[in-house]
Amino acid sequence: MGDWIAFWDSKHAIYVNARHLEVHYRRIADDVLRYVPSRTATVLDYGCGEALHADRIASAAGHLILVDAAPSVRESLAARFKDRPNIQIRSPQDLSALPDRSVDLVLMHSVAQYLKPAQLSALLVLFRRLLKPGGLLILGDVLRPNVSAFTDVLALLWFGVTNGFFFAALSGLTRTLLSDYRRLRSTLGLARYSRAEMEARLDAAGFSATPARRNIGHHWARMTFLARPV
């Protein structure tokens, strides 16, 4: 995970331009909003990244905790949301101090692929401890075993077509081919799970889980799981 953290802590080219970055995070925020249970809910977003539109979620909840492992990302988040008292910025290490059953909704989107299976299992146990009875874990953007990088390319290009950055996406794909992301993906790989494998892993951590009708975000070929403590 250390190499991936260093990558996200650097100036990378995953987002092809400002428009891509903006609509990416807006789409995630809009998709998550329908799961926020109340205006008093505590929401935890683990591996939140730039979270440009986290204020939209914070406006629908009582308290939003943004968690990211990259120090530069946390600094950016702290500056962006300094005037939002119900948004807190935390490192993953800070979560051990949170009390049991204190969170209504946990989101972990597009993170599982960068974790070793044992790391994912440990996080699921942590989330199980933090969630209130009846709370919800959203595990989004899970990579399937049989989905190729070509499908990722198609998903990005279609997202570009529908959101006004198609030509930037084309040039951005070339940059990605020459980037550290491509190197890390080739050397470290990405974790992939079938539906049965992820449901078994969630069950072992104390959750009852079902796949959502559609994935959070733009990638139609990835999975989102909705899991509740049992």
* Cα separation, 219 vs 210, whole angstroms: 18
CATH classification number, 2-229, choose in 3.40.50.150, 3.40.50.300, 2.40.160.40, 3.40.718.10: 3.40.50.150
CA distance 60 to 71: 27
Eight-class DSSP state of 224: E
**What is the domain partition of the chain in residue ranges?**
2-229
CB 142 within 8 A of CB 223: yes
Compute the Cα dihedral for 63, 69, 75, 79 and give only its sign.
negative
Which neighbouring-strand residues pair with 63? 42
> Please, are residues 89 and 71 in contact by the beta-carbon 8 Å criterion?
no
The rounded distance, in Å, linking the Cα atoms of 217 and 17 is 17
Q: Phi and psi at residue 118, in whole multiples of 5°? A: -65, -35
> How does DSSP assign 83-116, residue by residue?
T-TTEEEE-GGGGGGSPTT-EEEEEEES-GGGS-
- Distances from the Cα of 91 to the Cαs of 45, 47, 48, 87, 108, in angstroms? 11, 9, 11, 14, 14
pTM of the model: 0.93
Residue pLDDT tens, the chain, 230 long: 558 888 888 877 789 899 999 999 999 999 999 999 999 999 999 999 999 999 999 999 999 999 999 999 999 999 999 999 999 999 999 999 999 999 999 999 999 999 999 999 999 999 999 999 999 999 999 999 998 888 999 999 999 999 999 999 988 887 776 566 666 666 777 899 999 999 999 999 999 999 999 999 999 999 999 999 99
Please report which helix (H) or strand (E) contains residue 118, including its range: helix 117-130
